[in-house]
């Protein structure tokens, strides 16, 4: 990393290198969609660190003297900084940028480093400072045949940073100039750490990327867009996390006293507010019958532990070039996710009642009981032009019931009306004849 930090030679606090593998390691704030967001460079701590220059040779035969320090990132809500190394040797650090965490796969093509070499870099990070203490690193290097003596914190950082730059070079030609480095330091410690780490990383370029720290909660079965939840419904929610091994997730409803909603387990029992759940757990939100409409939010939260070293941090503004950073040690991450549930009044369907409308289909069988409902069949209102003089009697095939007698009476009445009509016609014709003769 060129011209990125002060070269004042001020010492880095020893506490930053000791005990960093404990469970109380660095904590960061992660979004539900995964990864730390909006980290800033801790300028005060950065300027207090020891800068140990290294002399590097490159594929084109040139040599450069580069500064090596751990770059601290401040994360909102976290008590300690995240310590990072830089990946790109020739790109400077913009100390005013915001940095977001990204995964390996999405960045392999953008920074020119293939996945295999990124895995090699991750091996370096997990087997050097600050993931290991300086003393442990020296012991491991010596055991592998690179005998170091009196290794200091800044020498350990310098050898580690140089190894990361070498592994990030796709040509494989970047290396420490051994003689120039010895002249500068008076010993081979930086060079020996460099050779130990690069040799071992070259043997460990396999592996897979660890997922970003994440936590999500949402309906177990998504609701179709044209449907709604209703008052009194019981809705299943499922929690998922990048950590699938530990029961670390707490769940809570916002303002249950106001909404009337209850959080239940699979047996319908209320969930203890102190209960912790694993990824994949299904819980239930029981909506109250009253209020008949409203909304409630279910929130899941917890801390994902042991996020491996090697997570990549990129500046948020792509128009402003800045050093890509890589997490130097394991961390814990506070994660959370929430889901809002809205409901509307339950639709009440009125009960069905027997119809009071008379049937329009005449029966083909005569009723054995006198009907009190008039028939829906309409009769013609046009009188016949030929008066009938016969009396209507029931047919021989009809049973002698009340219905048959009614038809006989009705027939007789029609006959009288018809006969009367004939009399009126005859009388009018007779008067007309008389008038003509007059």
Same structural domain, 61 and 189: yes
Give the CA dihedral 418, 419, 424, 425, nearest 10 degrees.
80
CATH number at residue 262: 2.60.40.2410
Dihedral pair phi/psi, residue 193, rounded to 5°: -65, -40
Residue 428 has pLDDT above 50, yes or no: no
Q: Distance (Å, rounded) from C-alpha 313 to C-alpha 323?
A: 9
Residue 9 lies in a domain: no
Number of domains into which the chain is organized: 3
The reported pLDDT for the residue numbered 16 is: 35
Nearest CA to 340 out of 300, 296, 301 is that of: 296
Yes or no: say if 269 and 384 are a contact pair by the CB < 8 Å rule: no
Same structural domain, 51 and 171: yes
> Rounded to an integer, what is the distance from CA 35 to the centroid of its chain?
14
Residue 310's pLDDT band (cuts 50, 70, 90): confident
Dihedral pair phi/psi, residue 179, rounded to 5°: -70, -40
| Structure confidence by residue, pLDDT tens digits, 47-77 | 999 899 999 999 999 999 999 999 999 988 7
- Mean pLDDT confidence for 179-196: 97
Same structural domain, 252 and 324: no
- Give the DSSP H or E segment for 175: strand 175-176
- Residue 250's Cβ-count burial label (10 Å; 0-12, 13-18, 19+) is middle
Same structural domain, 193 and 113: yes
Residue 89 has pLDDT above 50, yes or no: yes
Residue 230 has pLDDT above 90, yes or no: yes
Q: Distance (Å, rounded) from C-alpha 282 to C-alpha 265?
A: 8
Residue 358 lies in a domain: no
Same structural domain, 158 and 29: yes
User: 292: left (phi > 0), else alpha (psi -120 to 50), else beta?
Assistant: alpha
Extract long-range pairs of 425-432: CB within 8 Å, 24+ residues apart.
none
Residue 353 lies in a domain: no
Residue 108 lies in a domain: yes
User: For residue 84, what are the β-bridge partners?
Assistant: 71, 327
Pairing of strands 98-102, 39-41: antiparallel
Same structural domain, 319 and 292: no
Yes or no: say if 68 and 159 are a contact pair by the CB < 8 Å rule: no
Residue 192 lies in a domain: yes
Pairing of strands 331-344, 229-230: parallel
Q: Which of 119-133, 222-236, 290-304, 319-333 has the lowest mean pLDDT?
A: 319-333
- The mean pLDDT value of the chain amounts to 77
Same structural domain, 55 and 202: yes
SS3 category, 181: helix
- The answer for residues whose C-beta is within 8 angstroms of residue 164's C-beta and 6 or more apart is 85, 86, 87, 121, 124, 125, 326
| Number of neighbouring beta carbons within 10 Å of residue 326 | 22
Same structural domain, 291 and 317: no
| Structure confidence by residue, pLDDT tens digits, 238-269 | 999 988 889 999 999 999 999 999 999 999 99
Residue 155 lies in a domain: yes
Q: Look up residue 226 and give its DSSP letter.
A: T
Q: Distance (Å, rounded) from C-alpha 336 to C-alpha 371?
A: 75
Same structural domain, 321 and 431: no
Same structural domain, 190 and 230: no
Nearest CA to 152 out of 191, 198, 189 is that of: 189
- Give the DSSP H or E segment for 251: strand 250-253
- Which two three-digit tokens encode residue 22? 């404990």
Domain of residue 403 covers: 387-438
Bond preceding residue 363 cis, omega within 30 of 0: no
pTM of the model: 0.60
Residue 364 lies in a domain: no
Residue 49 lies in a domain: yes
Residue 218's pLDDT band (cuts 50, 70, 90): very high
Pairing of strands 262-264, 39-41: unpaired
User: For residue 332, what are the β-bridge partners?
Assistant: 27
- Which two three-digit tokens encode residue 397? 């095939």
Highest mean pLDDT among 167-171, 220-224, 385-389: 220-224
Same structural domain, 119 and 245: no
- Which two three-digit tokens encode residue 288? 């109250």
Residue 304 has pLDDT above 60, yes or no: yes
To 10 degrees, what angle do helices 115-126 and 189-202 make? Answer: 130
| Structure confidence by residue, pLDDT tens digits, 353-406 | 665 655 555 555 554 444 444 444 333 444 444 444 444 344 444 343 444 444
Same structural domain, 47 and 187: yes
SS3 category, 67: coil
Q: Distance (Å, rounded) from C-alpha 169 to C-alpha 58?
A: 9
């Amino acid at each position: 990393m060129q011209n990125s930090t002060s070269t004042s030679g001020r010492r880095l606090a020893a506490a930053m290198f000791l005990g960093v593998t404990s469970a109380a390691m660095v904590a960061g704030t992660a979004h539900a969609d995964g990864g730390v967001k909006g980290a800033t460079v801790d300028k005060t701590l950065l300027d207090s660190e020891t800068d140990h220059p290294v002399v590097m040779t490159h594929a084109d035969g040139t040599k450069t003297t580069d500064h090596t320090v751990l770059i601290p990132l401040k994360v909102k809500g976290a008590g300690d900084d995240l310590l990072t190394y830089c990946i790109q040797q020739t790109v400077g650090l913009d100390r005013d940028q915001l940095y977001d965490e990204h995964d390996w796969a999405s960045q392999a093509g953008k920074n020119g480093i293939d996945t295999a070499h990124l895995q090699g870099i991750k091996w370096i990070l997990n087997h050097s400072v600050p993931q290991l203490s300086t003393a442990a690193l020296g012991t491991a290097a010596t055991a592998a045949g690179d005998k170091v003596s009196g290794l200091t914190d800044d020498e350990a950082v310098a050898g580690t940073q140089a190894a990361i730059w070498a592994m990030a070079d796709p040509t494989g030609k970047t290396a420490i100039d051994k003689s120039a480095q010895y002249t500068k330091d008076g010993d081979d410690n930086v060079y020996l750490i460099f050779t130990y780490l690069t040799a071992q990383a070259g043997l460990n370029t396999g592996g897979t990327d660890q997922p970003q720290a994440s936590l999500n909660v949402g309906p177990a079965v998504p609701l179709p867009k044209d449907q709604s939840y209703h008052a009194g419904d019981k809705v299943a929610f499922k929690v998922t996390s990048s950590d699938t091994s530990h029961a670390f997730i707490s769940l809570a409803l916002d303002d249950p006293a106001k909404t009337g909603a209850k959080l239940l387990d699979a047996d319908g029992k209320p969930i203890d507010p102190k209960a912790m759940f694993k990824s994949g757990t299904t819980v239930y939100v029981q909506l109250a019958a009253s209020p008949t409409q409203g909304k409630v939010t279910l929130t899941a939260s917890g801390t994902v532990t042991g996020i491996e070293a090697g997570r990549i941090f990129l500046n948020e503004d792509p128009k402003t070039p800045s050093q890509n950073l890589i997490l130097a040690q394991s961390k814990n991450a506070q994660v959370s996710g929430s889901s809002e549930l809205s409901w509307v009044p339950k639709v009440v369907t009125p009960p069905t009642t027997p119809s009071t409308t008379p049937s329009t289909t005449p029966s083909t069988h005569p009723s054995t009981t006198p009907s009190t409902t008039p028939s829906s069949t309409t009769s013609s209102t046009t009188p016949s032009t030929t008066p009938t003089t016969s009396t209507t009697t029931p047919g021989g095939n009809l049973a002698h019931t009340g219905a048959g007698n009614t038809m006989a009476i009705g027939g007789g009445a029609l006959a009288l009306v018809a006969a009367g009509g004939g009399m009126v016609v005859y009388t009018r014709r007779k008067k007309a004849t008389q008038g003509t003769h007059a």
